[in-house]
Chain A
Amino acid sequence: MLVLSGIAIVVLGFALRLNPLAVVGVAGLVTGLAGGSSLKGVVETFGHAFIENRYVGIVWLVLPVIGLLERAGLRERLQALIIALQAVTMARVLVAYLLLRQLSAALGLNALFGHAQMVRPLIAPMAEAAAERTSAITNATRMEIRAYAASADNVGNFFGEDVFVAIGSVLLMKGFLQQNGVVVAPLDLARWAIPTAILAFAIHGGRLMLFGRRVQRAQPSNP
C-alpha cells in the first residue's frame, strides 16, 4: 500500500498546481523508497530510465528550423495566403489536419507530423489567419484556436495509430496476451481499432465545426 504514496503525491501536486517537474521528482523518490530501495538505488533507477528515454527529446531538433522560418516570415506568408483563399475556414483547416493526421498515423507514419513540426509553424497560424479573415479575434479566442489545433493533432495521432498493425501499442497487446497464453493476430487487433477511429473523427471533427461556428458568431459581422 505504501508504494501508492507516489500516486497520491502526483495527484495532489497537480491539483495544487505545483511545478510538475518537482512533483514528479518527489513522487519518484517517495515511490522508490517506499518500494524498499535505498536512496542511491532510487537515484540510479531514475537516472538510468532518464537516459534510456532520451529519444523523447529528439523532437526539439526541429526548433532551429522552425525558428529560422518564423524569423524569415513563415507566419506572415501563411496569413497572406489564407486570407486570399475564401473557402478555407478555421474549422476546415482543423478538420482537414485531423483527417490527415489520422490517416497518416493509420499508415504507420505517426512521426511525420506533430506539435513542433506542424502545429506550431503551420496549422495554428493557418487556423488563426482563417478566423481573422473577416474581423479581429480576441486574445482568448486566439489561444483557444491554438489549443484546438493541438487537440486535432493528438486525437488524430492516438486514434489513427492503432489501426496500423506494427505500431507499439498493437505489438504490446499481442506480446502481453501471448505471455499469458492467449495468441492473437495483430491484424485482428488493428481491425478492432477501426470503429473507434471513425467515432473519434466524428466526435472531434464535429466539435471542431461547432467551435468554428462559435468563433464566427462571436465576431461582429462585416459591414
Chain B
Amino acid sequence: MITLEHVYILSGLMFAAFALGRARDRVHPRRWRSAAFWGTYALSFLAGSHLPDLVNGILLAVLIVLGASGLARPADAAPPTERLLASLRNGNRLFVPALTIPALVLIGSLFFRYLRVGTEPLVDPSHATLIALACAVLVALLLGYMLLRVPLSAPLTEGRRLMEAVGWAAVLPQTLASLGALFASAGVGTVVGRLLTQAIPMTHGAIAVATYALGMLVFTVIMGNAFAAFPVMTAGVGLPLIVGRFGGDPVIMSAVGMLCGFCGTLMTPMAANFNIVPAALLELPDRNGVIKVQIPTGALLFVANTVLMALCVYRH
C-alpha cells in the first residue's frame, strides 16, 4: 500500500537534493549553514518515523538555531530576456503541467479509493489527497520535460531557488503545530477559559455570545488555529452559558463560533502557513504584508458573525 511514509521519503529526497545543491555552491558565505538546515529537514522526513522522540526534538532544535541565525539568500532568477525567449518557444504548452497538478489532485482524491491490489487498497484512503498531490507533481515534472525545452537540472536549481526564498519560514507552520501540542499538554487552554469566564459577568445571553465570539477570535489569534480555540471556548463559555443557562442552539453557536475563529486566522502571524509562508513565497518585503490586507476583512466579518449569532442562536 502507498502511504504517507512514501511521500515523506520523496520529500526528504527533495530536501536532501536542495542541501547538496547548496553545499556545492562554492561562492556563498553561508552555504554550510544553509546546507545543514535543509539537510536536517531532509533527515526528519527520511528517518523521523524511526528515530526516538528525543532525537527528533534535537533535530527540531538544530533547525530552529540554524534557521534563526540567518540562511543564505536564494540565487538570482534566470535573466528576463532568457525567460521571455523560453516563453515564446514554449507557448501555451506551459499551462499543461501547471494545470495537471490540480486536475490530478482532484482525480486522485476522488478515485484512489477504488484502486485495489487484491483486498488491500493501493493507496492509503485516509491520506488520498496528499498522496495524489505527490503523484501529480511527478506526472507534471515528466510532462514538463516532455513538452518544454528546459535544462535537465531546472527542477532542482529552480525549486531550490524558490525554497530558499521561503527560507526558515518553511518549517514555521510545522513548529507552530508542535507548539500547539505543547500548549495542550501543559493545560494552557483550560487556564485561559477559566480566566475569561471569571473576568466577565454573564448576566445576559448577548454578553455570553459576545464573550464566546471574542474569545474564539482572540484565542485563535494567539494560537494561530481555530481548532485549538474551539474546545476551550465551547467547554468554558459556549455549552455552560449560551446553551445551558440561556438555552441557545448548539449548532448555530458552534458553526458561527468556529467561523469567528477563522476571522482570527486571517489576522495572525501565528497562522504561519496561511499568512507568513505566502508572504515569503511571493517575495514580499514585509512578512506581515498578507495579514495587513486581510485585517479589514477579518474584522468586518467578525462583527457580522457576532451579530448573526446574537440574532439567531436564541431563536429556534
Asked if B154 contacts A67 (CB within 8 A), the reply is yes
Give the docked Cα–Cα distance between A193 and B185 (Å): 30
Stretch from A4-12, A83-91, A130-138 at the B interface: A4-12
Give the docked Cα–Cα distance between A191 and B280 (Å): 35
Question: Which residues, 291 to 311 on B, are CB-close (under 8 Å) to A?
Answer: 292-294, 296-297, 300-301, 304-305, 308
B237: interface (CB < 8 Å) = no
Known contacts A111-B133, A177-B250, A153 near B278 by CB under 8 Å: yes
A218: interface (CB < 8 Å) = no
Name the distance in Å between A129's Cβ and chain B's nearest Cβ: 12
List the count of A-B residue pairs having beta carbons below 8 Å apart. 408
Name the distance in Å between B132's Cβ and chain A's nearest Cβ: 8
Residues of A within 8 A of B270 (CB): 10, 14
Nearest A residue to B49 via CB reads: A51
Partner of B293, one of A56, A122, A147: A147
Mark each residue of chain A from 138 to 161: 1 if its CB lies under 8 Å from any CB of chain B, else 0: 000001101111110111011100
Residues of B within 8 A of A157 (CB): 274
Interface class of chain B by DSSP? helix
By size class, the interface of chain B is: 35 or more
Give the docked Cα–Cα distance between A196 and B231 (Å): 21
Known contacts A73-B90, A159-B259, A173-B230, A58 near B251 by CB under 8 Å: no
A/B interface sample: 28 pairs, CB < 8 A: A10-B179, A19-B168, A21-B168, A25-B64, A40-B54, A42-B182, A45-B181, A50-B56, A51-B48, A57-B171, A61-B134, A68-B155, A71-B154, A109-B109, A111-B105, A113-B102, A115-B277, A143-B285, A146-B282, A154-B278, A158-B262, A162-B262, A169-B226, A177-B234, A185-B251, A196-B301, A196-B304, A196-B308
What residues of chain A have their CB less than 8 Å away from a CB belonging to chain B? 1, 3-4, 6-7, 10-11, 14, 19-22, 24-25, 27-28, 31-32, 34-37, 40, 42-77, 80, 109, 111-113, 115-122, 124, 143-144, 146-151, 153-155, 157-159, 162, 168-169, 172-173, 176-177, 180, 182, 184-185, 188-193, 195-196, 199-200, 203-204, 207, 211
